[in-house]
Amino acid sequence: MPFGSSKAALMGAAGGGSTPVEFSGYDAISTSGDYTYVTYASSGTVTCVNGGEIDLILIGGGGGCASYSGSNVGGGGGGAVVAGAGVEVEDGTFSLTVGAKGNNTSAVNGGNSSIYIAGWYLYAGGGGYGGQGTWGWAQAGAAGNSVANGNITPTSPYVAAGGAGGGGGIWYQYQTGSGGPGQATATSGTGSGGGTWTSHTSGSGGGGGSAYNNYGRGGGGSGGADGDTGSDGKEGYNWLNGSSYGSGGDGGNGDNVAWTGYGRGSGYHNKSSQDGALIIRYLT
């Protein structure tokens, strides 16, 4: 955990012990235990009224499904997550881009989320779309967005995480599409706000297997869980608040409708994917 008992006693995450950390302009605020959580779920500005030590998670948009929406379609990959702990942020206003979700009617990756905050450029790539399956064709799932494939062009110093891959479509009894590859975390330089940052590779979408399984494959999760020859979408990254973000969408026979957090990929049962978000936590 980013806060030791001595830091908590000194209120180190609350701006030096006397003035609590404070943000404004958020879409939602909640408290749990000793912590306050603020959520920004749309593009705009993030205003830090009183700086100090924070934890944060930036989530990319979930991948869509291909245009054929029947049971042969693969699930979209989960949007990437960038998670930092013990990051020092100063007072100021920061411009936030929240990655838009793909959708359940077109082969579109999720959008990238980005922000410059605490001396870091942060990028969370969108998830790859799920492939379709139709007569004579089984489409592969798409790769998640990343620095490596040119979907993210970062500015240093940065932390940039890549999205999860979409699941492959299937043409029943004949062929199955491959899963889109998940993407890794890339870093460059050292931001002035320091902190400890996650390093992970998002999961690849499911693909291959028997073409007699009449269902598209599940999307990969941003937490590193690969899809397989089944249809369930995979769970995303489980953050400090106990919620999962960037989970994969279900293929044609999947029913993991519990994965509902920001950045989830589109799926046959859970339908529309989810936009990205920025969530910040600090000691109350």
The domain locations on the chain are: 1-284
Mean pLDDT of 175-182: 94
Mean pLDDT of 45-65: 97
Locate the DSSP E strands across 125-232. 133-134, 137-138, 158-161, 170-171, 175-176, 185-188, 196-197
Share of the chain above pLDDT 70, in %: 91
Are the C-beta atoms of residues 55 and 40 closer than 8 Å to each other? no
User: Cα(127)–Cα(61) distance, rounded to whole angstroms?
Assistant: 6
- The pLDDT value recorded for residue 258 is 67
**96-105, 121-130, 158-167, 267-276: lowest mean pLDDT where?**
267-276
User: Cα(89)–Cα(194) distance, rounded to whole angstroms?
Assistant: 9
Buried b vs exposed e over 212-231: b needs ≥16 C-beta within 10 Å?
Answer: ebbbbbbbbbbbbbbbbbbb
- The pLDDT value recorded for residue 205 is 96
- The pLDDT value recorded for residue 18 is 63
Mean pLDDT of 131-146: 92
User: Cα(132)–Cα(118) distance, rounded to whole angstroms?
Assistant: 41
How many helices (H) and strands (E) the chain has is answered by 1, 19
Whether the predicted model's global pTM rises above the 0.75 cut: yes
- Residue 146 tokens read as 């990343």
